[in-house]
């Protein structure tokens, strides 16, 4: 079974600026999301701090209609970037992400 067959949410390519921090870290890191879904995202980062799977990362996603703040759980990282799963999204944030993904998928068709 392929990874995309196991995903609960539709993913779409994107280019979204992301800022995140690690608990206890004084600096904010920046990345670019390359694909996103209602459940998580994959991001590229040139200078990412060392991270461990399972770590919670407060994040700000800079969408066209304004930024949103989320908490995400790191599910994997490599030298080029990382993947996260969003944690405990409220209805307004989940709705905005769902609308973003639906518009992007419709645009690509």
Chain segment 70-106, per-residue pLDDT in tens? 999 999 988 889 999 999 999 999 999 898 888 887 7
Question: How many CA atoms lie less than 13 Å away from 105 in the CB half-sphere?
Answer: 13
Q: Which pLDDT belongs to residue 1?
A: 39
Beta strands in the chain (DSSP E): 12-20, 29-36, 40-44, 56-63, 66-78, 81-87
Average pLDDT estimate for 16-44: 89
CATH number of the structural domain spanning residue 28: 2.40.10.220
User: With pLDDT > 70 as the criterion, what percentage of the chain qualifies?
Assistant: 93
Interior angle at CA 47, CA 4 and CA 39, nearest 5: 25
Does residue 22 or residue 60 have the better pLDDT? 60
Which residue matches tokens 């701090």? 49
Q: Which pLDDT belongs to residue 102?
A: 87
Average pLDDT estimate for 18-34: 86
Full residue range of the structural domain in which residue 38 is found = 3-108
Domain total for the chain? Answer: 1
């Amino acid at each position: 079974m392929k990874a995309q067959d196991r995903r609960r949410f539709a993913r779409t390519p994107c280019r979204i600026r992301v800022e995140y921090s690690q608990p206890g870290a004084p600096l904010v890191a920046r990345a670019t999301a390359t694909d996103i879904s209602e459940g998580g995202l994959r991001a590229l980062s040139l200078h990412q701090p060392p991270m461990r799977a399972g770590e919670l990362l407060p994040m700000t996603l800079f969408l066209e209609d304004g930024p949103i703040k989320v908490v995400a759980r790191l599910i994997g990282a490599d030298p080029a970037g990382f993947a996260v799963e969003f944690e405990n999204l409220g209805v307004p944030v989940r709705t905005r992400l769902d609308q973003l993904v639906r518009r992007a998928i419709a645009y690509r068709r």
